[in-house]
Amino acid sequence: MKLEEDILQTLIAGKVHLYPEKRTLVVLQADEVIIRVFSYNEWNILLCLLESFPCYTSHEKILACVTNLPVEICQERLHAARLHDKNAPSRSKSRFWEQEFRPASRALIRLRGKLEPFGLLLSSTRLLGYILAASST
């Protein structure tokens, strides 16, 4: 967890502590203590994003963090879903990719909200994945 704490320390003002056994992030700032507890999926995605930092984390890798499937299997599933969506008639455009990625999407939405108070942004990189960055404001 030392590497992950060091990365977060570069992004967040204050002293950062990670408690993996409780899936908790604590930041000690001059005038306050901010504590966030993460769900299993949120925690796994956060660690995945930190592992890839400062680069993006692919959709496949994020899905693998949530489903515990190998990245290669997730890559095949998302690729097949993209092809299915691409070949669907425009009137009845299916959303197989969205359905396949839904467990990760839900965790990403909740994770984004939990990271905002720390000044962290979770940004989508079109067709690639997600990247963790410090807010510029």
In this prediction the pTM is 0.86
Q: Whole domain around residue 112: which residue ranges?
A: 57-116
Is the residue at 64 inside a domain? yes
**Domain total of the chain:** 1
Reduced to 3 DSSP states, what percent helix, strand and coil does the chain have, rounded to the nearest 5? Answer: 55, 20, 25
Is the residue at 86 inside a domain? yes
Is the residue at 80 inside a domain? yes
- Cα-Cα-Cα-Cα torsion 76, 80, 86, 88, nearest 10 degrees, comes to -170
Among 21, 100, 96, residue whose Cα is nearest residue 67 = 100
Is the residue at 100 inside a domain? yes
Is the residue at 6 inside a domain? no
Each residue's pLDDT tens digit, 32-43: 888 899 999 999
Each residue's pLDDT tens digit, 76-121: 999 888 888 877 766 555 588 888 899 999 999 999 999 988 888 9
Is the residue at 9 inside a domain? no
